A and B are shown apart, each in its own frame.
Chain A
Amino acid sequence: MTDNFEIFDVQEEKPKKRKNIFKRIVWLVIVLLILGYFSTSVYQVGPSEMGLVLTFGKYTSSTGPGIHWHLPYPFQSHRIVDIKTLKKVEIGFRTVNYRGKIEYQTVSEEALMITGDENIVNLEAVVQYRISDPVKFAFRVLNGFDMVKFATESVLREMVAINVIDSVLTSERDRIAMETAEKVQKILNEYESGIKVENVYLQEVSPPEEVVKAFDDVNSAKQDKEKFINEANRYSNDVIPKAEGEAQKILREAEAYSYEKVALATGEAQRFKEMLEEYSNAKDITKKRIILEAIQDLLENSKQKIIVDSSDTLKLLNLPEIGGDLK
């Protein structure tokens, strides 16, 4: 730019004007340099952040969200720490953003833990933490995130190791999460890290993939057990009422028999009594009549009637051939 300008200027021969413009450019550069220098003193603190101002390297004050300025380098400098955002450490898995879709990937070497009864369990957890003391966080510790992550891994394994697999999988879940949070907090406090553990959430707690089938089989065995019992109850519910019905039938039949027999006997007895009364009135003639009637029936009912004399000639008579019923 300046070169081009000079060429035109030489032709025009106006030294005074040229000098003025040169001076202005020098001033502009100086002003820009000074502005640039002072721009290092302006900084912005976001809504969730806090600014820490250092004077000659020593921490002197904190500032909240907004635009701020401090003395330029080397007098003052600043650090910005995010204090409100809830940060998250994932243990045993990673959230991966794959083409806009959120997916979870298990990290086996982190997730597999040994239980107290020497089994292996697959445990995934999330630790949420916040920076509670930005000054400590900025000036006391170097790798805050890793400290939270490693301490949690360490404590979780310890907690899993003092429990047996069944309680880790079921009843002790909440307690493990709670106690882990407490212990991790204690460790971080010892480091004076300025980190506050808000929550430890156990995500998936399951048997390792290799043995899932066997664990599922226990569940299906429980279902089978219920099924067996239900079937037996169904059988029981089926046969007992039927038997009760059957019993009622037997009793009713017996009662019917009883009634019938007594009734018939009573009737017959009554008939006998009635007849006896008539018989008593004319004993001899009735007796004869009865006998004769019986003989009449006897003769009428028999198929063949044979009259033989008493001369013993009947000795070889072939009775079946004649047609008699030899009962």
Chain B
Amino acid sequence: MKKQTRIIIFGILVLLIAIFIYTSLFIVNQEQQAVVLRFGQIKKVVTEPGISFKTPFIDNVVKFEKRLMLYDIEPERIITADKKTIIVDTYTIWRINDPKTFIESMRSVDLALTRIDDVVYSNVRDLVAKYNFEEVLSKKREEILSEITKRSGENLKQFGIEIVDVRVKRTDLPPDISKSVYNRMMAERYSIAAQIRAEGQRESEIIKAEADKKVKIIISEAQKNAEIIRGTADASVISIFADAFGADPEFFELRRIADIYKNSFKDGMLILSPDSPILKFLYEEK
């Protein structure tokens, strides 16, 4: 029994020592930083990872994140210098860089976030309002953001907060303005479409007119040549006849007149005078 009691006492002693060591040491992880408080008073700040000492039961350790944190700020309507309303959605990358100051002025991360919200927000508002919509959108974006980051950083430095980056995630138009943009886009596209169709018709008319012109040229050219061919032929005919008939114009005349006699009285009425040479022999017989 005596041996057993000794073991128990030894065990309790070991336990007490362990508890004492455990409460007088604390570990700060790589991603953490810590502040040692004694009755609300800051005794020590540990920013490097490792093992540290504190007075057991009296000191209180508060640990904070050392890593970069992302805080998404609620989107808000802002009016730009050229009186356009846009919805700006920002976020902040921040970290606690001075845990002592941080705990003195902020106490908790939640409170810090509301402060970051206030500061970044008012800076975003101030700066965006100084520029035109187009500049906010693209040209001056970087400049505005780095100015916001710089100003917010200065404002929040006193709280032990470092603002690493402020960025605009979205810059959108409010729904009613979006709608008018859509209408404009549609009008624009429809007018482009109309233009394209009209161009098509223009091309089509040009091609058709060109074709009609070619047709006319081809036909009239052919007709011209045809007339020339006919004319040449007619001329040849004249010269052939002139050549032939010229040999004896008297005989030609005779033949022509004979032809006229033959053909021109066809089915007509012939009135002959008694002294007509045709009836010459008729009267002689009597």
Contacts and interface: CB of A to CB of B under 8 A. Distances in A.
Contacts of A314: 271
Interface residues of A, number: 116
Contact of A187 (B134, B165, B278): B165
Contacts of A139: 30-31, 66-67
A251 B226 contact: yes
Contacts, number: 325
Given A298-B262, A306-B270, A191 B211 contact: no
B224 to A, nearest CB: 10
Interface stretch (B99-107, B121-129, B152-160, B193-201): B193-201
Most chain-A CB neighbours within 10 Å: which of B210, B215, B227, B234? B215
Interface in A134-158: 138-143, 146-147, 150-151, 153-154, 157-158
Given A151-B167, A243-B215, A258 B245 contact: no
A151 B93 CA distance: 10
10 contacts: A54-B49, A146-B70, A187-B167, A214-B190, A228-B200, A261-B234, A262-B233, A269-B240, A275-B251, A298-B262
Contact of B211 (A157, A222, A240, A265): A240
A56 B261 contact: no
Given A211-B185, A254-B226, A261-B234, A232 B49 contact: no
B81 to A, nearest CB: 16
B70 A147 contact: yes
B275 A310 contact: yes
A224 B240 contact: no
A224 B258 contact: no
Given A141-B67, A146-B70, A215-B189, A247 B208 contact: no
Interface in A249-274: 250-251, 253-255, 257-259, 261-262, 264-266, 268-270, 272-273
Interface of A: 54, 56-59, 74, 77, 109-110, 112, 114, 116, 118-120, 138-143, 146-147, 150-151, 153-154, 157-158, 161-162, 165, 187, 190-191, 193, 207-208, 210-211, 213-215, 217-218, 220-222, 224-229, 231-233, 235-236, 239-240, 242-244, 246-248, 250-251, 253-255, 257-259, 261-262, 264-266, 268-270, 272-273, 275-276, 279-280, 287, 290-291, 293-295, 297-299, 301-310, 314, 319, 322-327
B31 A116 contact: no
Interface of B: 22, 27-32, 48-51, 65-70, 72, 91, 93, 134, 137-139, 141-142, 164-165, 167-173, 178-179, 181-182, 185-190, 192-194, 196-197, 199-201, 203-208, 210-212, 214-215, 218-219, 221-223, 225-227, 229-230, 232-234, 236-237, 240-241, 243-245, 247-248, 251-252, 254-255, 257-259, 261-263, 265-275, 278-279
